[in-house]
Structure 1
């Protein structure tokens, strides 16, 4: 300032405005000793002055102090300071602390001073850690209520960052009773955001797992539903499960499920590890989710496991599968609910098991699988119940795939999981690929983070779910639930199943709880106000 040709170098008196005497004294003391006397009452004003005068050595002592002594009451202020002055490393540390301790931080007075842009960014982070998404909703409400006149217009946008599908029904009631929702000019949009309670829940049906003593495999009769998805520190996730019902005897695995007219259909599979047809099932069941009642329907025409089943045109189609441990099937049969009966349809071109099937734009597609000689196939074909199969471009990843899943993503089909042929034997296939029917071509897709051989798989709200299964490389069962969100472009681990099931089936079921009456909640909120 004095020697660089600036204006102050030509003045007799230089005014250092806005700087307290003790701050200047501390800076001068640092020049001669390399030390600063720091505590929480001095750190903010001193750091601001050091930033102004660009004193990097002294500033590093202040940032070290802030980083090492950060707590729930100060981390929000540290984050705001770092964001304001571009202190990248300090900002990263403060943001991580806020996200990890969000539930406690949001209750502190300093949280209410966080700027809107910064708050929006925090709410969108996957690493935000709370016991319940309701804590995020309360934090948003608390922040707006601190300066309601200025912040009410921001409420609808903030609520869009609250992951309302994770709210329980009681939490949804609390949210809908919040008077603040109806004071904002965008109240209608905010209420519509909050009322998006999931009407369907992720359900696990059957499968088998190793018993507690690791002595034998035990097929399951349980139908589990995911009640809540929890986010822990960092990337840790957990799922809260509830037993919805038990499948009528016997238990089963290597079966399929379909959801038709809000009813769950459970088809075929095995009831234990036996030999030939003694272990296979014809039994066909239907579960009314709302009434919680099971009904036994006419048996399938053929016993089978490792098959696929899809719904199309109000009918259930069962395709291929295994008759025993060496003989595959090319037979296709369909169930007509209006007639309550099964009929045989045009067979497949190839007897196959361990394949996958999906319906896209009114067309059935079949991919991969193994033939009766245990050869993994790379095939992809369309199927018509009257005309049979017509070939499409084969899969491009590996020499074949079986025990995998095929799921609809927009106007394309994603093939994921399973195993691939190696020399010798088989190995896990983590690579995924996506098929475009319009161009009859395959392209790459993000790989799975863990093996999923014979998993359950389903689609909901544009997201892909791959659940459980096992590993061909380690022969161990998997307990993980992975989800692919197109907006993020990657697979995310949502948490673990109650047990590491393999050869299971999954789907999204209508919630067995009574629906929330949104209008009545709104009326009560208005009358209370």
Structure 2
């Protein structure tokens, strides 16, 4: 074909033919310049081909760039068949692995940093996840340091704990048996907060008292659960002391004040066999070097005052049995037995004491939204880093689980639902002040994909969906010192950004939402001066109009829409994190103060589920929060426990 003076010919069979010939040359050892020694087996290949598909081998070859002979790379801990499968993939782009070899291929792909292969193998293993293999899969995911894989296995175990507990792998796990003495008429709460206190007690026993985990499991340990919900060492109570372990605010206090950083998850050296050997060194290790995993995974009430829990203690996957008894004079006769026929519903007196389940991570500056009846909390930051993880709350189960993490760590952003998908735009990744990137989440595939970037980097901007478009309002300038007036709209069909009318007042950290076909920008700050002003956008004439101001100036507030009114929650007034809440009635164009939250929260997230407003995370002025509370409009009250009369529409 002649085109623009050039002869153009496309040979569609050339690439396939060349690839097949190169792989044949590899197998025949022809023109090969690298030897992989894998557990006594020698595999020949071409350095350039491997460098193109394996960043790990590229680094090795690049450091040996002056070598003109044959490179030798030795692996003593990989499966030769798995490496051969990866070599075939490198030459043919076809991955063909026997199902019994998928774990070995995953391990080799992890070493070679072949992320696509690792993801494909992980997805295959997750598709085969069931009650019989859940424990072995968790041990494998833990040994690989794969946070995404691990979170999905843990979510499965949470949903199927009793079925998992009947399997042979589960029955072989180390067991910690605890007897918890109770005051008369007091019952143990069947929620994760109790086990957080138990983890604190175990940590203290290991690092402050010098005990070993094996020793703790040799006999039944006696603890005391006080009427004010503290967990106390039973021996100290009997001797007349009252030292308290695991108070309400000191979750995992003996290792770290906050949950483990996401960047540390890949470095945790968790046991893959259930052996107790890791704790031998941990008992005498300095506190600041203890970085193994401590985690509550799941629990069930199995009988009256009998509880079963699966947790990771100092990197060791363990079963914890709890038996509550009212009489300190008697002792347990046997380990509690599982009784699937019994009801696992909490009793009314327990519900009054049961806090709503907290998120796995404390987060401030997070993005939140309601999607398919669930509460989605994404990203945010704690004192040390911006987060990628995304958690999903099911109000019917009172349970948080992980969904696919975002592609980019980000905080100081807002999230909106558009055409059944979640959108996040801009924010900060903790390294640069602002991001121009955006991404969207498809709940059908559990995947995040990129969307076209903003024309300017934007942090602390408001995000809202309106008339099948996504709007980004205000935000911080590149220096982070002034608010912006900019307003941009994204068309998800055309995949293009367009400019809209500018705000009347510069704003960053404003709360933005849609109500009755209008978009509202609420409060925020011009520079660091908090605003009580509010403006409304009319898409029909592309104009912003100032409306009645709030009673309280605030930035970093959250907003929800209920029954045709706006509910603005918390924020920061320039001096303090706020508990106060106010409501805007567009028919009256006025604001009314409502009942305050149980906690002060700035840069928190809110969403409507049914007829209930949920508030999560944020910063209370001292601590980053992972707690949840709900608002009942009928009673004008906030609750942080399950006794809240929170009607949910089906």
Using structure 1 for the length normalisation, give the TM-score. 0.51
CA contact 2:555–2:572 (8 Å) conserved in 1: yes
Q: Against the structure 1 CA distance between its residues 69 and 337, is the aligned structure 2 distance closer, same or farther, given a 3 Å change threshold?
A: closer
CA distance in 2, matches of 1:353, 1:139: 46
Aligned residue for 1:220? 387
Conserved 8 A contact 2:577-2:619: no
In structure 1, C-alpha distance between the alignment counterparts of 2:581 and 2:511, rounded to whole Å: 14
Tell me how large the CA RMSD over aligned residues is.
Answer: 3.3
2:603 alignment counterpart:
454
Q: Do structure 1's residue 327 and structure 2's residue 482 form an aligned pair?
A: yes
Tell whether 2:626 aligns with 1:479: yes
State the Cα distance separating 1:328 from its structure 2 match: 1.4
Aligned-pair distance for 1:381? Answer: 1.8
Distance 1:357 1:102 in 2: 46
TM superposition shift of 1:279: 3.1
Structure number with greater Rg is 1
In the alignment, what sits opposite 1:382? 536
Question: Which residue is 1:245 aligned to?
Answer: 404
Confirm whether residue 351 of structure 1 aligns to residue 515 of structure 2.
no
Matches of 1:328 and 1:224, distance apart in 2? 30
Partner residue, 1:411: 564
Cα pair 1:206 1:220 within 8 Å, conserved: yes
- Corresponding residue of 2:441: 287
Matched residue of 1:338: which SS? coil
Contact 2:374/2:609 (8 A) holds in 1: no
Q: 1:260 aligns with which of 413, 418, 424?
A: 418
Matches within 5 A, 1:180-259: 199-210=372-383, 217-227=384-394, 239-248=398-407, 250-259=408-417
Aligned pairs, how many?
Answer: 292
Q: Report how far residue 267 of structure 1 moved.
A: 1.0
1:253 deviates by 0.6
Supply the distance in 1 between the matched residues of 2:469 and 2:347 (Cα, whole angstroms): 47
Unaligned runs of 5+ in 1: 1-67, 73-100, 106-131, 141-165, 167-197, 211-216, 231-238, 496-515, 517-529
Q: CA deviation at 1:103?
A: 7.5
Residue 228 to residue 428, structure 1, CA distance change in 2 (3 Å): closer
Distance 2:544 2:303 in 1: 56
Change (3 A) 1:456 1:335: same
Of 612, 636, 639 in structure 2, the residue corresponding to residue 492 of structure 1 is 639
- 1:15-30 aligned within 5 A: none
Q: Go from structure 1 to structure 2 and tell me whether the alpha carbon gap of 1:451 and 1:71 turns closer, same or farther (over 3 Å shift).
A: closer
Is the contact made by 2:570 and 2:581 (CA closer than 8 Å) also made in structure 1?
A: yes
For residues 367 and 389 of structure 1, what CA distance do their matches in structure 2 show? Answer: 12
Q: Which has the higher contact order (CA 8 A, sep 6+)?
A: 1
Contact 1:221–1:247 (8 Å) recurs in 2? yes
Change in 2 beyond 3 A, CA 1:356/1:450: same
Q: Does 1:433 align with 2:582?
A: yes
Per-residue CA shift, 1:329-362, capped at 9, x if unaligned? 1000011011111111000011111111111111
Structure 2 distance, partners of 1:265, 1:103, is 44
Are 1:457 and 1:467, in contact at CA under 8 Å, matched by a contact in 2?
A: yes
